[in-house]
Structure 1
Amino acid sequence: MDTLNFDGSCDPNPGGIMGFGWIINWSSGKKATEGSKEKKPSKSNTNNVAEYTALKEGISNYLELGGKGPLHVRGDSKLVISQMSGKWKVNNENLAKIKEETDSIIKKHNLKVKFTWVPREQNTIADRLALPKSRRNKISKTESNTDSNTGSVKPENRKFVADVNSSSVSSKLRLQINELNTSPSPGFKSFAQLKVGGFDSFSRKKLETLQKEAGSKASAIAEKEFSNNPTQQASALRWMLRGLSTDLAVKKVKVDIELSKKRKK
């Protein structure tokens, strides 16, 4: 079965430049096809609109290249995948329009499509293609030096417990987390400014509950980094569940620890 991975981004969100990326892997064995497009800033631009548009563009490109299906579509947006699969209702007018257009294209070509949600680490190529070209070029220029000099994890290699775009966090926090996740080497100030702004659905959950929700691998990372400190382990897992990558969640807690020490002096 041919596969299509897609992703979209809006920088900044909302209102910024939208980027759309996709990659087609052909079951025939021929070389994978990558594609990307951009749209200038507009008030109607959002991450969700970008995700839907990326899907539409990806399917259109697949058909233009002679794809006949069946097609396995994979994306890291639970919203788009769940709505296209008919599991969730579409309440946003802009998204409903793009979904209708995409459904029409699928129906017109009698294309058999299967939709599957995948975590972001399984969608790294489409994720990178979805970034605006200026940002992609900036990351490409800096990430090799960043990795060798600081040991930072490359954005496309980061591991995630949850998808921030589907996580129950505020729009402001979602934007901050997305910016950190796609940055090659976030600075101390960026972590210091990352705040929930009160309480959210993760704030009052105890360590045992957080460990069950985050899974054994994430829990092991938190335990290794903050051994004998359940409070810090819980904090790291909360950030992972909010959508921050595992390595950045650890850094966030370490920054908070350092800030706490400075306040006590």
Structure 2
Amino acid sequence: MKVRLEWKYRSSKGVETVFRSDEMAAAQGVQIAEDIERTKRVKELLFIDSYDDSVWTMKEMKAYLKSIETEPHDITVYFDGGFDVGNRKTGLGCVIYYSQNGKSYRLRQNAQLDGLVSNNEAEFAALHLCVQELEFMEVRNIPVRFSGDSKIVINGMSGEWPVIETELVRWADRIEEKISRMGIQTDYELIPRKENFEADRLATQALKGIEITGTSSI
């Protein structure tokens, strides 16, 4: 979860004003909020959820973080698809970074598919692979950031652009159905290709028939 802090400050002379922070991870927000409270000049301090602008108190935020401690959380997903026009094969790459039990992990998964018709369809299929992996991880009812370099997928899934092609609509519908069933709060982020190098490499390896799967601590 990403949050912004909002606190009412009262000076030693009784002058009050309101400060607002930049967006940050919820756990980091709690640490900063605790430091702010030590000044003894905070009249009110709230956490604003960046996803839906819901408001949390310090007590509520700590309880939430405690409740998800043993489950995968702070999840960022990177996806990429590659399509070989010559042999009509598709390579899918998926990288998932997450926290659990106070540790950080990276999951890597790739796959090769037949029967797709374009690179855009490969990109949607790669995102679907990632959502499947989240389902296997039993991710439920938490925010997830999906990062990719495909404008068609990112803008299509976020609602910025319409998804028109029939084969792409089918993938988008399948993805949306899974995400809705899992209760995931989506945050789609378009990133430069160079920042998506891990997922891109996995997709390329899949096209070459090299299978990669596994989770490691980082």
- TM-score normalised by the chain length of structure 2: 0.58
Matched, 1:10 2:83: yes
Query: What is the rounded CA distance, in whole Å, between the counterparts of 1:51 and 1:131 in structure 2?
Result: 13
Query: Offset of 1:136 from its aligned partner?
Result: 7.4
Match of 2:163 in 1: 90
Structure with bigger gyration radius = 2
Larger helix percent: 1
Matching residue within 112, 118, 135 for 1:38: 112
Q: Which of 138, 145, 151 is matched with 1:66 structurally?
A: 138
How far does residue 60 in structure 1 lie from its aligned partner after superposition? 1.2
Higher relative contact order (CA 8 A, sep 6+): 2
Structure 1 residues 88 and 34, CA gap change in structure 2 (3 angstroms): same
Q: Which runs of 5+ in 2 are unaligned?
A: 1-73, 211-218
Q: Distance in 1 between matches of 2:179 and 2:121?
A: 19
Displacement after TM superposition at 1:3 (Å): 0.4
Contact 2:79 2:95 survives alignment (8 Å):
yes
Indicate if the aligned counterparts of 1:38 and 1:132 stay in contact, CA closer than 8 A.
no
Unaligned runs of 5+ in 1: 138-265
Q: What CA deviation, in whole Å up to 9, does each residue of 1:185-238 have, x standing for no partner?
A: xxxxxxxxxxxxxxxxxxxxxxxxxxxxxxxxxxxxxxxxxxxxxxxxxxxxxx
Which has the larger strand fraction? 2
CA distance in 1, matches of 2:137, 2:165: 31
The answer to whether the 8 Å contact 1:17/1:132 transfers is: no
- CA distance in 2 between partners of 1:87 and 1:33 (Å): 29
Residue 65 of structure 1, CA deviation: 1.2
Q: What stretches of structure 1 move > 6 A for 4+ residues in a row? A: none
Q: CA deviation at 1:27?
A: 2.9
Q: Give TM-score scaled by structure 1 length.
A: 0.48
Query: When the two structures are aligned, how many residues end up with a matched partner?
Result: 134
Q: After TM superposition, give the deviation of residue 63 of structure 1 in Å.
A: 1.9
